[in-house]
Amino acid sequence: MAETKRETERKYEADDTTTLPDLTRVPGVARVTDEGVMELDAVYYDTPDLRLAADGLTLRRRTGGRDAGWHLKFPVAPGVRDEIRAPLSDTLPPDLAALLRSRVRDTEVVPVVRLRSSRAVRHLLG
């Protein structure tokens, strides 16, 4: 069963230092916990002619981290997307394939890029 979440993306720039600023100085943040590093492996899928990217959609299968699985993202507004998640499986879940059908028709989605990354996780607690 797939679940949907609305995400708002914000990007921040940092200077060249290797340490984070003291985030407990941010209103509402009492402490910061270090949750360690997650190793993520994401494969992004599209049609060979990149129809999904042309429509602003993103389809990926990711392992590692707390939200491992399939993620399909639809644009809602600038910086806002609805993300539909499905559990990790070897093949594209039928629920997600059905949502893509109007855009891909009978064209198969194939891997187009793979990203491996390390994510340092910190929780801000109030």
- Residues 76-94: what's their mean pLDDT? 94
- What integer pLDDT is reported at residue 111 of this predicted model? 98
The arrangement of secondary structure in 40-126, i.e. its CATH architecture, is Beta Barrel (2.40)
Q: What is the C-alpha separation between 110 and 65, in angstroms, rounded?
A: 23
Of the listed ranges 3-7, 50-54, 97-101, the least confidently predicted one is 3-7
Contact 111, 43 (CB under 8 A): yes
Report strand pairing: 69-77 vs 58-63: antiparallel
β-bridge partners, 114? 43
- Please give the DSSP secondary-structure letter assigned to residue 109: P
Contact 39, 64 (CB under 8 A): yes
pLDDT tens per residue across span 26-43: 999 999 999 999 999 999
Confidence (pTM)? 0.83
Domain ranges across the chain: 40-126
Q: Grade residue 1 by pLDDT with cuts at 50, 70 and 90.
A: low
- For residue 92, the SS3 value is coil
- What integer pLDDT is reported at residue 2 of this predicted model? 65
CA neighbor of 71 nearest in space, from 35, 115, 30? 115
β-bridge partners, 37? 120
